[in-house]
Structure 1
Amino acid sequence: MSDIKSSDYKVFSRFVENLAKKLTKFYYLKLNKKFVTSNKIKGKGYDPVTTADKAFEKFIRKEINSKFPKHQIIGEEFGHQKSKSDFTWVIDPIDGTRSFVIGNPTWSNLISLNYKGNPIVGLANFPVLKKYYFNSSNKSSFVVENNKKRKIKVNNKVKFSNMKMSVAFHGGISLDQQKKIPKILKLMQFPCVDALSYSHFAEGKLDVVIQCSNKIWDIHPLIPIIEAAGGIVSTWSNKSAVKAGNIICSANKNIHNQLIKILKPVC
């Protein structure tokens, strides 16, 4: 990532900050009303998508194309807009669609900018909570709440004995597999609410977040925010989180390494 200049970071981070504000305004002007829900995998489970998901993604794509017309875009709902650019935007228009459907305010708009496949700038915008998280470099992450910007850091001095852990399996591992990791079951004492848990981790409110079955648009926007806040993020088998899948983020190497060992029976 050494060939990304600080001036480039400034351009991109300003763009995502402005986009967060526009997305929240767009929600209250256009989408805070009745919507239609459909199931993307009829007969095979439940994976909801709403008319709001699609409207958000169209809006985000329009904003990106207006500012960075040569960049590639990958979105959950409308696929891959290809080009020869090394820059690719990855979009989850509504992360936590189930929460959105039932009126839970924890859903978000997730957007990352990737350079040569690696996420370098991330945005997690929570319209109903009226706050957003983003990074302005590979060493600085922020939360903006009530129009106040605050730099955030993970709680990297925490010990295994008193860490706060949030876990969600999302149906990604069976009950028999869960029985192979009893220590994790015992330690999962805090609720997990999709991207909000990763965001809370980045500001030191949680010390570990473990999730199953993340797609690239679920995790790519959080990777640069987490890493710039000093956190460690990988797959359960300690591979790059850019691959997505089963994800763990920890506040320090000691905790991360211990939990990777505990998770080994289900990797």
Structure 2
Amino acid sequence: MSVVELGRFMDDLAEASGRAILPFFRTQVGLDDKARGGAPFDPVTEADRAAEVVLRSLIRQTFPAHGILGEEFGAERLEAECVWVLDPIDGTRAFIAGLPTWGTLIGLTRNGTAVRGLMHQPYLGERFSGDGRSARLRNAAGERTLHTRPCADLGTAILATTDPRLFTEDEEAERFRAVEGTVRMSRYGADCYAYCMLAAGQIDLVVEAGLKPYDIVALIPIVEGAGGVVTAWDGGPATEGGRIVAAGDPRLHAQALRLLNG
């Protein structure tokens, strides 16, 4: 399959998952707690499951030799050269609350490296995509290339994180506060949208912890394609999730790493 055909297939995945999800949005959607009453609350909806079923079916039909890792239905053939990494609704809490800061994440790895990524927000009609070399946004206004913005200093940066309570260890929370106490402004609750806004030059820095591969793999080629940097806090690859820092400017990324590593 050519690069163009692969892009079209990913668009097909986005469209199909959007059709599965939208009938549930801003309704009294069925809800379960994967934490089974424990902490933290870990919601999953009928929409999450319906979308992942559709995504897996299309991938199996088109690429039967590929592996799949999805949030709702686990892993299959992870030893394959190419593995699809899926989060049908990243931002389920926002989805439940009727807020449009959620998206479908569709990532593709080759030999463990994230090579293609797409974030689709069907309610707003926005689609962010990247291949590590370039990144684009498609919406009702058309299509445009994404570029991160220069920001060399934490003191002028806008920081985002999904929830400061992600930092469950005392050390994690202390290191995050060290970064947050230095930036110009911080915002919470954007989930995958924070990374896409970083790629679009609206946000400068994203710091998170406790992520799974399906929370980040699709976003890596988008941020990197727009000129940004995404790593673990120790500077290593971000593909396995965990503690993640993304920056639009490599100089800012270096500053954040210094604080996050004490």
Same fold (TM over 0.5): yes
Look up the match of 1:67: 62
Q: CA deviation at 1:21?
A: 2.7
Q: Is the 8 A contact 1:111 1:221 kept in 2?
A: yes
Q: CA deviation at 1:252?
A: 2.1
Look up the match of 2:104: 109
Q: Is the 8 A contact 2:148 2:199 kept in 1?
A: yes
Q: Aligned letter for 1:76?
A: E
Q: Aligned letter for 1:59?
A: V
Q: Secondary structure at the match of 1:191?
A: strand
Look up the match of 1:4: none
Matched, 1:246 2:243: yes
d(CA) in 1 for partners of 2:229, 2:78: 31
Q: Is the 8 A contact 1:169 1:212 kept in 2?
A: no
Q: Aligned letter for 2:19?
A: K
Higher alpha-carbon deviation: 8-17 or 228-237: 8-17
Query: Which runs of 5 or more structure 1 residues have no equivalent in the other structure?
Result: 1-6
d(CA) in 2 for partners of 1:181, 1:9: 39
Q: Is the 8 A contact 1:106 1:129 kept in 2?
A: no
Give deviations 1:67-99, integer Å, cap 9, x for gaps. Answer: 212211111111112276311101111111111
- Distance change (3 Å), C-alpha of 1:190 and 1:129: farther
Alignment: residue pair count: 256
Q: Is the 8 A contact 2:175 2:259 kept in 1?
A: no
Look up the match of 1:191: 187
- Distance change (3 Å), C-alpha of 1:37 and 1:86: same
Give deviations 1:149-206, integer Å, cap 9, x for gaps. Answer: 1110111x32214222213434323466534554423227232310000000011111
Q: Secondary structure at the match of 1:52?
A: helix
RMSD, matched Cα = 2.0
Look up the match of 2:126: 131
d(CA) in 2 for partners of 1:201, 1:97: 21
Matched, 1:95 2:100: no
The equivalences for 1:172-251 within 5 A come to: 172-174=167-169, 177-180=172-175, 182-186=177-181, 187=183, 189-192=185-188, 193-251=190-248
Q: Is the 8 A contact 2:232 2:238 kept in 1?
A: yes
Q: CA deviation at 1:239?
A: 1.1
Higher alpha-carbon deviation: 50-59 or 173-182: 173-182
The equivalences for 1:2-21 within 5 A come to: 8-21=2-15
Q: CA deviation at 1:218?
A: 0.2
Q: CA deviation at 1:20?
A: 2.0
Q: Equivalent of 1:145, from 130, 136, 139?
A: 139
Query: Which runs of 5 or more structure 2 residues have no equivalent in the other structure?
Result: none
- Distance change (3 Å), C-alpha of 1:190 and 1:85: same
Matched, 1:31 2:28: no
Q: Secondary structure at the match of 1:221?
A: helix
Q: Aligned letter for 2:93?
A: R
Q: Secondary structure at the match of 1:184?
A: helix
TM-score, reference length from structure 1: 0.88
- Distance change (3 Å), C-alpha of 1:83 and 1:221: closer
Identical positions, percent: 29
d(CA) in 1 for partners of 2:237, 2:61: 32
d(CA) in 2 for partners of 1:56, 1:77: 10
Q: Aligned letter for 2:186?
A: F
Q: Is the 8 A contact 1:138 1:228 kept in 2?
A: yes
Q: Secondary structure at the match of 1:23?
A: helix
